Structure 1
Amino acid sequence: MAFLMAGVMALSACGSNDNEEGASPSTGTPASESPSNSSSASPSASPSDSPSPAASEVKLTKVSQVTNWFAEPEHGGQYAALSKGFYEEAGLDMTIQSGGPGISSTQIVASGKAEFGMGQADEILLARESGIPLVAVAAIFQKNPQGIMYHKGKYKDISELNGHKVYVGSGVAYWEYLKKAYKLDKVEEMKYTGSLANFVADPEAATQIYVTSEPFTMQQEGVDVEYFLNYDLGYKQYGNILYTTEDYLEKHPDIVKAYVEASIKGWNYYKDNSEEINKVMQEKNPDLKLEAMAYGAQAQEPLIYGGDAEANGVGYMSKEIWEGLQKQLVDIGILKSAEPIDQAFTNEFLPAK
């Protein structure tokens, strides 16, 4: 199981203990115990008809969320909700902690150092089996943007990767699925380091990617590429899941609802105002150019706002998709057993469509 958890940590490389956004830093203390909170300070609190100036000030609930990488278009709705004041309107004093290599958002949320996290659907199931009771409260990506990139025209079927180098993270769940489903038993697995230099140098190589990012990098370098989207290859999992713990959800359902609704409002805003919010995110991640952000925002649009989100709204999750993913993880031995899937996710806090 050690290599599996290594995969979880690699996939969960999100968040840090350094505060990046918000009016004041998160203390890591549950919101209900924060000195700034009281029973009258819930997100739904409202002033009386004729309040005094002091009484009309609604106290905000301090919370923080951990994203799964440095600020980028995949987080656009979260930053939109922060910069446009949607979290504040919902009664939340929000801090966004950006992720980075080797940082586990699941551990940060499980320890109470952040109330909310962002990760992949398989991470939620793996964490739960490991005794970390996370609950998904929204799925930003209907189709996960993870994929396998190759040089243009080289492959028509993923099974043709046999006999060639593939740069991929060790123990990554989707790769274990693809190997079994497509009999990739002759692939030369190479350690993925984040660098694309070896891929570029070898016209027969392939590499793991986010379809919202690396293809743009290759375009800038004049390298023609194509890719397989893992979701379309049968590994159907949601991406950029927003989650919290069972305990926090049970004790603070009003805060969870305020967080989810404000986040979804942010994503609906980002769809038509990505250029504005990309500039906000670039202040936090200056290494990512606006041109790359524009590419990512366009590439991810059908993955976020398409599929079930068209009828049910951004963030919606299907029991069928969750059960299918769980069964795949059990079949390839990554999960030992299938728990009742209803415990792993809920649509209860999504805004009414």
Structure 2
Amino acid sequence: MLTKDLSGKRYKLGALSVMLAVVLSISACGSGGNNSASTNGGSTSESSSTTTEPAAPSSSDSTTTTETKLTAVTQVTNWFAEPEHGGQYAAVSKGFYKEAGLDMTLQSGGPGISSTQIVASGKAEFGMGSADEILLARQNGIPLVAIAAIFQKNPQGIMFHKGKYKDLSELNGKKVYVGSGSAYWEYLKKAYKLDSVQELKYTGSLANFVADPESATQIYVTSEPFTMQQQGVEVEYFLNYDLGYKQYGNILYTTEDYIKNHADIVKAYVEASIKGWMYYKDNTEEINKVMQEKNPDLKLESMAYGAKAQEPLIYGGDAEANGVGYMTPEIWESLQKQLVDIGMLKKADPISSVFTNDFLPAKS
């Protein structure tokens, strides 16, 4: 779950606390295997055309035409429209979902909105989240399955003032603004022996970080560094993935039940989404303007920075050889082991049920 303060900065709450809240709220709900396309009230959404498309006339003189109905589906993102969702909005804007037979509604995430909860309750077919959220959800009885990893490297990181630190262990004794209970932070504290760090609650504001040159703060590398650049504050950052917490980001997921009953729709959704991400790579300015209509608070300059910063995280790594969205069992198993080691997972279940590459398009 993400949340946002009035200044427009975003931050991520601890995945464990999110999962506990989800479990409580859906304890009376099913596994989300129906075909509902309803949305959560209060959030913005974008839909592809809801009209049906006539088929080409037959060779006869008959004026009768047949209509191909689009299948209505909903995907919940993990925040308001931003570059991290560029491929999804491109797929709507350019008609890729419609071409795949889908009437797609993109429902924005935001304060108080959990995509895992909405998908698990059957109010949306697809969601977007991080790898640790998928594992924690499954432990708590929510049978989510990752069907594509948009980010090969999750864009979460730790930012500090330029030149201050060369190793994360140097943060001992310093103030660090971070969401309590975050899985990645629990891992980093243990891995880097941060036993005397001054852990302070991250509120979304960077004012305290700016005022204290010895401090550090959690960030998305696609966002906060640009904010600091605009304020003339020189910063550097560690990417959590490079620190050893290797997890995928902006994972597209659905439920086991939905895959079982609607594999053709899942494949159409994934292929159209990946097509959108390939389009966004070369047409960011066009799609950023589309997203800004949905999220006017986010300036085009900031979106341009984010799109550039996330390129190697999306299109690099295993995606170079295997295509956008590709996942490996090694990454999933390593993350699962880390969550077990820090006590956030009780045990390591077979990873084969957690993710699948079966719906990804063949790499050309």
TM over 0.5: yes
Runs of 4+ in 1 over 3 A off after TM superposition: 7-11, 15-19, 45-56
CA deviation after TM superposition for structure 1 residue 333, in Å: 0.6
Query: 1: CA distance between counterparts of 2:315 and 2:73?
Result: 27
Classify 1:275/1:24 alpha carbon distance in 2 versus 1 (closer, same or farther; 3 Å): closer
Which residue among 250, 258, 262 is the counterpart of 1:240? 250
CA deviation after TM superposition for structure 1 residue 130, in Å: 0.4
The answer for unaligned runs of 5 or more in structure 2 is 1-13, 23-38
The amino acid of 2:284's aligned partner reads S
Query: 2: CA distance between counterparts of 1:169 and 1:113?
Result: 28
CA deviation after TM superposition for structure 1 residue 317, in Å: 0.3
Helix, strand or coil at the partner of 2:127:
strand
Classify 1:310/1:321 alpha carbon distance in 2 versus 1 (closer, same or farther; 3 Å): same
The amino acid of 2:295's aligned partner reads N
The answer for unaligned runs of 5 or more in structure 1 is 26-35
Aligned to 1:125: 135
Q: Deviations over 1:68-106 (max 9, x none)?
A: 011000000000000000000000000001111232110
Does residue 67 (structure 1) correspond to residue 77 (structure 2)? The answer is: yes
CA deviation after TM superposition for structure 1 residue 57, in Å: 2.2
Which residue among 335, 349, 353 is the counterpart of 2:359? 349
Does residue 272 (structure 1) correspond to residue 282 (structure 2)? The answer is: yes
In 2, are the aligned partners of 1:16 and 1:99 still within 8 Å (CA)? no
The amino acid of 2:335's aligned partner reads L
Which residue among 334, 342, 345 is the counterpart of 1:324? 334
CA deviation after TM superposition for structure 1 residue 62, in Å: 0.4
Aligned to 2:319: 309
Aligned to 1:20: 45
CA deviation after TM superposition for structure 1 residue 48, in Å: 8.8
Classify 1:192/1:87 alpha carbon distance in 2 versus 1 (closer, same or farther; 3 Å): same
In 2, are the aligned partners of 1:137 and 1:345 still within 8 Å (CA)? yes
Classify 1:48/1:322 alpha carbon distance in 2 versus 1 (closer, same or farther; 3 Å): farther
The amino acid of 1:158's aligned partner reads L
Helix, strand or coil at the partner of 1:218:
helix
Q: Deviations over 1:274-309 (max 9, x none)?
A: 000000000000000000000000000000000000
Query: 2: CA distance between counterparts of 1:168 and 1:322?
Result: 24
Which residue among 224, 246, 250 is the counterpart of 2:234? 224
In 1, are the aligned partners of 2:77 and 2:106 still within 8 Å (CA)? yes
Identical-residue share of aligned pairs (%): 80
Query: 1: CA distance between counterparts of 2:155 and 2:166?
Result: 19
Query: 1: CA distance between counterparts of 2:189 and 2:153?
Result: 20
CA deviation after TM superposition for structure 1 residue 263, in Å: 0.2
Query: 2: CA distance between counterparts of 1:164 and 1:337?
Result: 33
Query: 1: CA distance between counterparts of 2:215 and 2:286?
Result: 37
Query: 1: CA distance between counterparts of 2:127 and 2:266?
Result: 12
Query: 2: CA distance between counterparts of 1:268 and 1:54?
Result: 38
CA deviation after TM superposition for structure 1 residue 16, in Å: 4.4
Query: 1: CA distance between counterparts of 2:108 and 2:165?
Result: 36
Task: Summarize the alignment of residues 88-237 of structure 1 with structure 2, pairs less than 5 Å apart.
Answer: 88-237=98-247
In 2, are the aligned partners of 1:144 and 1:238 still within 8 Å (CA)? yes
Q: Deviations over 1:172-212 (max 9, x none)?
A: 00000000000011111111111111111111111110000
Aligned to 1:298: 308
- TM-score, L = length of structure 2: 0.87
Query: 2: CA distance between counterparts of 1:196 and 1:8?
Result: 27
The amino acid of 2:147's aligned partner reads V
The count of aligned residue pairs is: 332
In 2, are the aligned partners of 1:10 and 1:169 still within 8 Å (CA)? no
Does residue 87 (structure 1) correspond to residue 112 (structure 2)? The answer is: no
Does residue 281 (structure 1) correspond to residue 291 (structure 2)? The answer is: yes
Query: 1: CA distance between counterparts of 2:44 and 2:279?
Result: 24
Aligned to 2:16: 5
CA deviation after TM superposition for structure 1 residue 226, in Å: 0.3
Helix, strand or coil at the partner of 1:226:
strand
Helix, strand or coil at the partner of 1:186:
coil
Query: 2: CA distance between counterparts of 1:46 and 1:131?
Result: 43
Helix, strand or coil at the partner of 2:146:
strand
